[in-house]
């Protein structure tokens, strides 16, 4: 059915409606390409104009090429991130079902293996017009959406860290050369790789919990094994210390600097904080959890998954900043609950966690400099207020009771 400009209703022929559906992905692809082009042009000319006005040595034309290189780096990071997102779609679908993540991707309906060109992140789905090349049945739009979301989160975090505007307690190496390229050392690249893995791991947990599936044991062991052992071996990835005196990780006792003792305490305090704050969120997200009297119950398993989701973020940003990550994730999950009513509150909260974590990493240095944001240099009252707000989260983020049909009266039916 179609409504014309005159307000008349016209019933579309099934073939016309099919053609209209096939054209939608092409329209979306065109809109996406136009949006990317416009944003790139605005960034290149806007930043070149801004930087040339603040410099006496570089003109507007001198800065066009450096800013074009920035766009290329960002798009390359987006492609890397969207490739991770494509793999995470496989992980979120196969691992909870006990399937192997090895092998080529295939259509979930006809089981036909996808060609390499069809597996290209985002644009592969658009090129197929949202349908399998073999059986022509529709492919869920979730695949390009997840690829785009993961790609954007990794691209923004990577771009901010490469340009040294994201992380506190890290030296600003500056920009050199005629192109004004940022100076990137080995430690910066190592930290970036660590954060990319952490964001991808939290995305995987969020997608699985969004589908109301329990986190696979293999995924949890592998993810936390990498996060914890990397921090213990290279304490510099901790960024901030576990103490509250604002001390820096300057005791060079590992390859990239940092104290091994600080790393151990950093991990322990992160795990303790994750367990504490997960228990604070339990009245809203898993109210029936009882590890003591029902350790194998469904709600108790949900509580364990909640602790794991919180622990991954806590290890990355530290126990001091974990409350604000949880608060922001709870706020992001509110519109997600309305958009995805089939998922539960825990699912939308888990899906919002990687978004909140990415924003905190990208804006870490800026937030660290503010007095009202919890960090290693904050006053104790700031942390207490943040913890108090976490205690209030179950008031707006909670599992709504499921409506059950009233029992029928058989005697009245017979009458």
Mean pLDDT of 401-407: 56
Q: Which of 277, 270, 153, 275 is nearest to 206 (CA)?
A: 153
Q: Which of 274, 1, 25, 260 is nearest to 139 (CA)?
A: 25
Domains of the chain, residue spans: 15-152, 163-400
**Can you state the percent helix, strand and coil of the chain, rounding each to 5?**
65, 5, 35
Query: Quick one: how many helices (H) and strands (E) in the chain?
Result: 13, 4
Tens of pLDDT, residues 216-235: 999 999 999 999 999 999 98
Q: Is the pLDDT of residue 202 over 60?
A: yes
As a whole number of angstroms, the distance between CA 29 and CA 35 comes to 10
How buried is 302 (Cβ within 10 angstroms: 0-12 exposed, 13-18 middle, 19+ buried)?
buried
Q: Is the pLDDT of residue 322 over 80?
A: yes
CB atoms within 10 A of CB 286: 25
pLDDT of residue 245: 64
Strongest mean pLDDT among 22-26, 177-181, 221-225, 263-267: 221-225
What token pair was written down for 403?
Answer: 């409506």
pLDDT of residue 181: 67
Strand pairing report for 2-3 and 9-10: antiparallel
Tens of pLDDT, residues 49-106: 887 887 777 788 888 888 898 899 999 999 999 999 999 999 999 999 888 888 777 7
**DSSP-based three-state secondary structure for 245:** coil
Q: Do residues 354 and 199 touch, judged by C-beta distance below 8 A?
A: yes
């Amino acid at each position: 059915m179609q409504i014309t400009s005159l307000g008349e209703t016209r019933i579309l022929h099934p073939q016309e409606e099919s053609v209209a559906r096939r054209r939608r992905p092409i329209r979306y692809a065109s809109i996406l390409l136009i949006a990317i082009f416009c944003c790139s042009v605005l960034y290149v000319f806007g930043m070149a104009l801004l930087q040339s006005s603040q410099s006496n040595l570089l003109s507007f034309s001198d800065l066009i090429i450096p800013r074009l290189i920035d766009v290329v780096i960002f798009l390359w990071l987006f492609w890397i991130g969207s490739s991770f997102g494509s793999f995470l779609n496989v992980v979120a679908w196969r691992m909870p079902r006990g399937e192997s993540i090895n092998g080529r991707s295939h259509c979930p309906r006809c089981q036909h293996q996808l060609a390499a060109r069809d597996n290209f992140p985002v644009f592969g789905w658009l090129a197929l017009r949202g349908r399998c090349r073999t059986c022509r049945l529709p492919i869920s739009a979730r695949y390009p959406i997840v690829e785009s979301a993961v790609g954007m989160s990794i691209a923004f975090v990577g771009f901010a860290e490469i340009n040294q505007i994201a992380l506190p307690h890290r030296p600003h190496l500056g920009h050199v050369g005629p192109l004004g390229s940022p100076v990137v050392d080995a430690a910066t690249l190592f930290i970036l790789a660590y954060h990319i893995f952490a964001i991808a791991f939290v995305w995987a947990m969020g997608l699985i919990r969004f589908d109301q599936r329990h986190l696979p044991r293999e995924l949890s062991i592998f993810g936390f094994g990498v996060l914890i052992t990397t921090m213990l071996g290279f304490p510099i990835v901790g960024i901030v210390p576990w103490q509250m005196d604002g001390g820096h990780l300057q005791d060079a006792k590992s390859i990239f600097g940092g104290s091994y003792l600080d790393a151990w305490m950093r991990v322990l305090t992160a795990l303790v904080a994750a367990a504490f704050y997960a228990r604070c969120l339990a009245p809203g997200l898993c109210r029936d959890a009882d590890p003591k009297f029902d350790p194998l119950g469904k709600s108790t398993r949900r509580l364990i998954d909640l602790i794991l989701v919180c622990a991954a973020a806590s290890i990355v940003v530290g126990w001091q900043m974990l409350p604000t990550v949880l608060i922001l994730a709870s706020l992001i999950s509110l519109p997600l609950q309305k958009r995805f009513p089939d998922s539960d509150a825990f699912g939308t909260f888990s899906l919002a966690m990687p978004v909140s974590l990415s924003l905190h990493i990208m804006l870490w240095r800026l937030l660290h400099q503010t007095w009202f944001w919890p960090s290693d240099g904050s006053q104790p009252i700031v942390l207490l207020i943040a913890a108090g707000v976490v205690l209030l989260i179950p008031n707006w983020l909670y599992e709504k009771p499921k409506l059950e049909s009233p029992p029928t009266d058989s005697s009245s039916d017979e009458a």
